Amino acid sequence: MQHLANLTERRDRTSGHAIEVAHVSHVYAGADGGVPALHDISLSVEAGRFVVIVGPSGCGKTSLLMMMAGLRGQSQGTILCHGKPILEPDPKRVGVIFQEASLFPWLTTFDNIEFPLSLRGVPRSERRRRSQAMLSLVGLEGFGERYPHELSGGMKQRVSIARGLVQDPPVLLMDEPFAALDEQTRMTMGHELLRIWSTASKTVVFVTHSLTEAVYLADEVLVMSARPGRIVDRIEVTLPRPRTYEMMATDVFGRLRERIWQQIRETV
Amino acid sequence: MRWPSPAAVRWMMLAALLVLWEVLPKTGALPELLLPPLSKTLAVLFTDRYVYFAALLVTLYEVALSMLIACGLGILTGALVGGFAVLRNLLLPVFSSLYAVPIVILYPIFTAWFGIGSSSKIIFAGIYGFFPVMLSTAAGIRTIDPQFLLAARSMGATLTQQITRVIIPASVPTVFAGLRLGGALAIIGVVVSEMLTASAGIGYLVTLNRTILDSPRVFAGILAIFVLAIAYHMLARAIESRVLVWQAAGRRRKSSSPDTSATVPAPVAA
């Protein structure tokens, strides 16, 4: 039976909806009745897809992501992850990667990656084995004993991605993870992320305000309006995979980028 | 000519001071009553070594206990005040203003309450050292990057784990800065109170010998306190750099400091 259950779970991971958001609204409490932040958002993310959410700043895209992560509650509506509601953070179902790499400066790279495992009392040897594997996945072998302040911005985000992946959650939520990086590093990191994604077969929901990044990374771009945030468009990115830097110069890329820009401009 | 390193210059300045201490009174440039020569001071320290050693033990005992009070109470109160907004709003302004009060004014009352023995010194110096420890602990906890806690929660940390695994290690550097200052104030508190009203301790010896114009013995006491304070400072520094290895690590390995694009393998060509 256990075997069967595992099989079903495996199928759940690779087919159907990884994330389902149904009629989610959110109002920030305030003196004059509150500020509406999100308005009736419904969306679903198929398992294994790379979905990017874009929108003007302050549209609530980060709030929406935090709700998917169980880090913040919504006023109305439900959010399901593989059919089960998200009520609190669960690193086994959902890994979160933040804009600031938010690594703990008092821990080495190894200990940072192993942090979620050590919270659960995973034995040390097992932890080290898994963090080693993650470290080579993100291309940082040999940096396990370094402290965060000895790493560059791009390397910190790699470690942060490794930490998000170490419990092998089917879903990865990324909140503008490369926004603080310089342009070149940002491009490299985007490319790296696609490589990791293609080997790890995860569902990714990625929030950004960079349209180029959105088109380059996504299977599907969701455009949000200014506050109160609504989903105003859903754009399939038909560019083939693996993506290459050269694709950015193509007409298809330009048209997709233009369409998203039009949507955002109209809603502001 | 190459300039000597700052450390070498510091040692040379110290040596020069010691030489001047010996030479100035010897040549008659300064009367021995105001500055007895170093050799005379050391000689007195040697002949009276049992007296000074006993006094030093009393002082050390008082310093140790008052540091314990300052650090223990300071960290505890600081954690509560830093962690709970209600307590913070209620108490932080009070503590901040009390810190500005010259608490030494309360010392006569303490001697009345606790006698002229060690207890009054320990309590006075403990309170004196308490404030910086408490204030910096509160600040350390209050200024933790909320992103750390958000990340910890996203990884499933319980409240207890957030405290032990994030809040405590994150506030250690600030707390340590407070401990170092609090410890120094505890030493000052003990010595000052010994000089005011006491029956033992180095401070007491200094005051006693001053009243009978025995300059070498006054300076012997001063020298003992200097050595004590500097030893404390070096010890605190050593402990701090041990505990905060993660802050010093970069400086130690600076030469091999990594650089993103150069050290990380290039992305797989598409």
> What's the pLDDT score for residue B241?
85
Question: Is B253 close to A150, i.e. CB distance below 8 A?
Answer: yes
| pLDDT reading at B140 higher than 70 | yes
A183: phi then psi, degrees, rounded to nearest 5: -55, -50
> What's the pLDDT score for residue B148?
93
Q: Once rounded to an integer, what is the mean pLDDT over residues B92-96?
A: 87
DSSP string, B186-238: HHHHHHHHHHHS-SSSHHHHHHHHHHTT-HHHHHHHHHHHHHHHHHHHHHHHH
Q: Once rounded to an integer, what is the mean pLDDT over residues B155-180?
A: 91
| pLDDT reading at B166 higher than 90 | yes
What's the predicted TM-score (pTM) here?
0.78
Among B165, B250, B265, the residue with its CB nearest the CB of A150 is: B250
CA A195 to chain centre: 15
pLDDT class of B67 with cuts at 50, 70, 90: very high
Q: Which of residues 171-230 of B touch A (CB under 8 A)?
A: 172
> What's the pLDDT score for residue A2?
47
pLDDT in tens, B190-237: 999 999 888 889 999 999 999 998 889 999 999 999 999 999 999 998
> What's the pLDDT score for residue B257?
41
List A35's β-bridge partners, or say none.
A28
Measured CA to CA, the distance from residue B136 to residue B79 in angstroms comes to 10
Question: Is B264 close to A107, i.e. CB distance below 8 A?
Answer: no
Contacts of A185 in chain B (CB under 8 A): 260-261
Amino acid identity of A244? T
Question: Is A106 close to B157, i.e. CB distance below 8 A?
Answer: no
CB atoms within 10 A of CB A99: 19
| pLDDT reading at B262 higher than 60 | no
Measured CA to CA, the distance from residue A225 to residue A233 in angstroms comes to 9
CB-side exposure of B262: number of CA atoms within 13 Å? 6
Pairing of strands A17-28, A76-81: antiparallel
Question: Is A163 close to B155, i.e. CB distance below 8 A?
Answer: yes
Question: Is B250 close to A115, i.e. CB distance below 8 A?
Answer: no
Whole-Å CA distances, A111 to A100, A166, A199: 18, 12, 24
Contacts of A158 in chain B (CB under 8 A): 264
Whole-Å CA distances, B72 to B58, B69, B130: 21, 5, 9
Contacts of B247 in chain A (CB under 8 A): 105, 149
3-state secondary structure of A146: coil
Q: Where are the alpha helices (DSSP H) in chain B?
A: 6-26, 38-47, 49-83, 85-100, 107-114, 118-142, 146-154, 159-161, 168-196, 202-211, 215-243, 245-252, 260-263
Within 8 A by CB and 6+ apart from B174, the residues are: B136, B137, B139, B140, B143
Q: What percent of chain B has pLDDT over 70?
A: 91
DSSP letter, residue B106: G
CB atoms within 10 A of CB B94: 10
Measured CA to CA, the distance from residue B208 to residue A166 in angstroms comes to 68
Please give, rounded to a whole number of angstroms, the shortest distance from the CA of A157 to a CA of chain B: 11
Question: Is A139 close to B154, i.e. CB distance below 8 A?
Answer: no
> What's the pLDDT score for residue B189?
93
Please give, rounded to a whole number of angstroms, the shortest distance from the CA of A35 to a CA of chain B: 23
pLDDT class of B258 with cuts at 50, 70, 90: very low
Of A27, A111, A98, nearest to A69 by C-alpha is: A98
Question: pLDDT per position in chain A (268 positions), as tens?
Answer: 445 444 444 444 445 888 888 888 888 877 677 788 888 888 999 988 999 999 888 788 888 999 999 998 888 888 988 888 888 898 888 999 998 878 999 999 999 999 999 999 899 999 999 999 889 888 888 898 999 988 988 899 999 989 988 888 999 999 998 888 888 888 888 888 898 888 888 899 999 988 989 999 999 999 988 878 888 889 888 888 888 888 888 888 999 999 989 888 877 6
> What's the pLDDT score for residue B78?
92
Q: Does A73 touch chain B (CB under 8 A)?
A: no
Tokens of A15: 């087919």
> What's the pLDDT score for residue B240?
86
Measured CA to CA, the distance from residue B129 to residue B124 in angstroms comes to 9
